[in-house]
C-alpha cells in the first residue's frame, strides 16, 4: 500500500485552511474578519500579495472556495479561539491540540497565558516540520511552554507519545480536535476518546468538529457539500469518518463525556452571520458540525 499523502508531504487541507484564515484576516467587513493575524506568515510572498488585492481575495473566497467553506472556517476559528482563551483564563494546566496543522493560538494568545499553561501541538511529522521551519525562518517567537509533538494518530500510541513530552495525567485539560476526526479511522477516533477519558481529570473539555455521515455517502443534500467533498478528495486527503444526525451525544456519552454544546451550520449562521433583523447574510457550508464535551 502506498503511503498516505500526509506521510509524504505537509497537509494540503491544513494549508488551505491557513490561506483561508489569512485571506479573511484582510477583510475589513467585521462580519468576515478573521482574528488570526499570524496565519499569513505561512504564506509565500506572492500569495500574501494576492490576498491583499481585494478583487483577487474575493475571487478566492467567493468563487474558488467551495460555497460556505470560508464562512465555516471563520465560525470554527471563533468557537475554538473562545475555548482556548477560556481555558487560559480558568488556569487549565494543559491544552492539547490534536492535529494542530498551522494553528497559531499558542502564539496569538501567549500574552494571555498567565498561569503557565502547557500547550502541546500534535500533528503528522511532515506538517509539523513545515510549520516549525516557517516559524524559525520568520522569527516567530514561541514560548518555552509550547511543545511540538510529531505523531501519526492512526498508528502511534497517543498516550505514550504525549507523556514522553511532559503531558501529565489527572489534571484538567482542554483538548482541541480541529479538522481531524474526518480523516481518521473509527478505531483512531474511539481510541483518542478512550485516552482522554483515562488520562484527563474530571471537568476536562473536548472541542472537535466532524463531518456529517451523509456527506460520505454522497447524498448531496447539504449546502456546498459535493464540491467541498471533491475538493478535499482531490488533495489526496479524502474524508473517511462521519457521524449521523444525533449520534454525537451518544459517542461522547460512551466515552464518559457530557455534550455541552453543539453547533450545526445553521447554528453558526445564526451566531456569526445574521443581522439585527434575523436575516442570514452568509451561508455556512453544510458538511461540518462542532461539538463540545465535558468529562464527567
Confidence bin at 10 (pLDDT 50/70/90): low
Does the pLDDT of residue 94 top 70, yes or no?
yes
Closest CA to 24 of 282, 237, 289: 282
Question: What CATH number was assigned to the domain covering residues 67-295?
Answer: 3.40.50.150
Does the pLDDT of residue 9 top 70, yes or no?
no
Q: pLDDT above 70 covers what percent of the chain?
A: 97
**pLDDT per position as a tens digit, 123-164:** 999 999 999 999 999 999 999 999 999 998 778 889 999 999
User: How much is the average pLDDT of 187-214?
Assistant: 96
Contacts 24+ apart (CB under 8 A), 258-264: 258/293, 258/294, 258/296, 259/291, 259/292, 259/293, 260/205, 260/292, 260/293, 260/294, 261/290, 261/291, 261/292, 262/289, 262/290, 262/291, 262/292, 263/75, 263/79, 263/289, 263/290, 263/291, 264/289
**pLDDT per position as a tens digit, 26-73:** 999 999 999 999 999 999 888 899 999 999 999 999 999 999 999 999
Return the pLDDT at 7. Answer: 45
In contact, 239 and 216? CB cutoff 8 Å: yes
Return the pLDDT at 156. Answer: 86
List helix spans (H) across 97-141.
105-108, 125-137
Domain boundaries, the chain: 67-295
**pLDDT per position as a tens digit, 238-294:** 999 999 999 999 999 999 999 999 999 999 999 999 999 999 999 999 999 999 999
Return the pLDDT at 101. Answer: 92
List helix spans (H) across the chain.
5-8, 12-25, 45-51, 54-59, 69-89, 105-108, 125-137, 158-163, 186-199, 213-216, 225-234, 247-254, 265-272
Confidence bin at 6 (pLDDT 50/70/90): very low
Interacting residues of 45 by C-beta distance below 8 A, sequence separation 6+: none
In this structure, the strands spanning 288-295 and 94-98 are unpaired
**pLDDT per position as a tens digit, 68-89:** 999 999 999 999 999 999 999 9
- Give the integer Cα–Cα distance in Å for 291 and 177: 10
Closest CA to 249 of 196, 195, 210, 199: 210
Return the pLDDT at 133. Answer: 95
Does the pLDDT of residue 175 top 70, yes or no?
yes
**pLDDT per position as a tens digit, 14-28:** 888 999 999 999 999
- The angle at the Cα of 138, spanning 133 to 141, to the nearest 5 degrees, equals 90
Return the pLDDT at 1. Answer: 24
Confidence bin at 107 (pLDDT 50/70/90): very high
User: How much is the average pLDDT of 105-126?
Assistant: 96
Interacting residues of 246 by C-beta distance below 8 A, sequence separation 6+: none
Return the pLDDT at 14. Answer: 85
Return the pLDDT at 12. Answer: 78
Amino acid at each position: 500500500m502506498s503511503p498516505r499523502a500526509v506521510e509524504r508531504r505537509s497537509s494540503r487541507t491544513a494549508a488551505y485552511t491557513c490561506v483561508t484564515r489569512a485571506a479573511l484576516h484582510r477583510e475589513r467587513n467585521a462580519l468576515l474578519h478573521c482574528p488570526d493575524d499570524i496565519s499569513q506568515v505561512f504564506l509565500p510572498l506572492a500569495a500574501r500579495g494576492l490576498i491583499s488585492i481585494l478583487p483577487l481575495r474575493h475571487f478566492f473566497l467567493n468563487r474558488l472556495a467551495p460555497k460556505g467553506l470560508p464562512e465555516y472556517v471563520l465560525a470554527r476559528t471563533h468557537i475554538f479561539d473562545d475555548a482556548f482563551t477560556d481555558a487560559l483564563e480558568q488556569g487549565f494546566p494543559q491544552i492539547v491540540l490534536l492535529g494542530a496543522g498551522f494553528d497559531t493560538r499558542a502564539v496569538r494568545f501567549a500574552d494571555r497565558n498567565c498561569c503557565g499553561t502547557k500547550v502541546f501541538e500534535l500533528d503528522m511529522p511532515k506538517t509539523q516540520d513545515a510549520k516549525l521551519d516557517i516559524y524559525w525562518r520568520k522569527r516567530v517567537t514561541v514560548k518555552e511552554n509550547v511543545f511540538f509533538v510529531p505523531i501519526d494518530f492512526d498508528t502511534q500510541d497517543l498516550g505514550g507519545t504525549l507523556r514522553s513530552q511532559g503531558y501529565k495525567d489527572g489534571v484538567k485539560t482542554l483538548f482541541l480536535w480541529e479538522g481531524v476526526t474526518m480523516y481518521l479511522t473509527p478505531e483512531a477516533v474511539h481510541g483518542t476518546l478512550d485516552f482522554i477519558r483515562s488520562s484527563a481529570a474530571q471537568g476536562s473539555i473536548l472541542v472537535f468538529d466532524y463531518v456529517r455521515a451523509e456527506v460520505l455517502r454522497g447524498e448531496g443534500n447539504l449546502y456546498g457539500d459535493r464540491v467541498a467533498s471533491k475538493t478535499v478528495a482531490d488533495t489526496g486527503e479524502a474524508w473517511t469518518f462521519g457521524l449521523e444526525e444525533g449520534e454525537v451525544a451518544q459517542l461522547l456519552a460512551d466515552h464518559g463525556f457530557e455534550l455541552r454544546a453543539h453547533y450545526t451550520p445553521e447554528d453558526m449562521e445564526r451566531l456569526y452571520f445574521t443581522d439585527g433583523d434575523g436575516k442570514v447574510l452568509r451561508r455556512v457550508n453544510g458538511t461540518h458540525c462542532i461539538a463540545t464535551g465535558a468529562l464527567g
